[in-house]
Amino acid sequence: MRRWLILITTHLVMLALGFAGGIYALPILTAPRAPDSAALQNIATETLYAGRLMRNLNGSDLLHWGEGEIRVSRNRISHIGRLAPGPDYKLYLAPRFVDTKESFLQIKDESLRVGEVKTFNGFIVEVPAGIDVRDYNAVVIWCEAFAQFISAAEYQPSHQVRK
C-alpha cells in the first residue's frame, strides 16, 4: 500500500511539474517572430512619446518583468527590449503610472485595452481607430489569464494628459 501511495504521489508531482513547464514554454514555442529592428526603428520617425519599462518595479518579479523602451505614436505602440515570456499578455493604456498588480486593479476600469502582446523580444501593437493616446499617460503589460502585473512605463507626465 505504501509503495502505491509513493508511486501515485511522485507521478502526480511530475504531472504537475510537466503541466507548469508546458504553460511556461508554450508561449515561447508558439510566439510569432518579433518585429525586425528596421520595423521598430521605422516607428521612431512617428514617435510622439517614449518611456521605459524597468525590470525592478515593485510588482515585477523573477518570472514577470519587462525592460526596454516604449514608443507611442498616434497609430502604434512599440517596444524595443525584452519581456519575460508568458501567456495572454495584453497592452493597456492607463490614466497614470502604476507599478503593482494592486495599483493596476484600482485603475483597470479607467484603462483601455489596446491589444495583445505576442512577442517577447520587442513588439508593435496597432492602436485602434478612435483612440487618442494623448488621453493617457502610461502603458501597462498585463497577463489576463493569471491576473498578473508584468511591467509598465510612463510615457508622459500625468499633468500633461488632455481632459
pTM: 0.80
Of the pLDDT bands very low, low, confident and very high (cuts 50, 70, 90), residue 158 is low
Identify the weakest region by mean pLDDT among 31-45, 55-69, 128-142: 31-45
The predicted structure's pLDDT at residue 32? 59
**What is the rounded CA–CA span in Å between residue 126 and residue 128?**
6
The predicted structure's pLDDT at residue 15? 87
Query: pLDDT (tens digit, 9 = 90+) per residue, 48-94?
Result: 999 999 999 999 998 899 999 999 999 999 999 999 988 889 999 99
- Least Cα distance to 114 among 84, 75, 158, 148 occurs for 75
The predicted structure's pLDDT at residue 163? 52
DSSP codes joined into one string, the chain: -HHHHHHHHHHHHHHHHHHHHHHHHHHHHHPPPPPPHHHHHHHGGG-SEEEEE-TT-TT--SSS-EEEEEEE-SSEEEEEEEE---SSEEEEEESS---SHHHHHHHGGGSEEEEEE--SS-EEEEPPTT--GGG--EEEEEETTTTEEEEEEE-S-GGG---
**What is the rounded CA–CA span in Å between residue 49 and residue 139?**
11
With a pLDDT cut of 70, the percent of the chain lying above it is 88
Q: Show me where the domains of the chain are located.
A: 1-30, 37-160
Query: pLDDT (tens digit, 9 = 90+) per residue, 6-15?
Result: 888 998 988 8
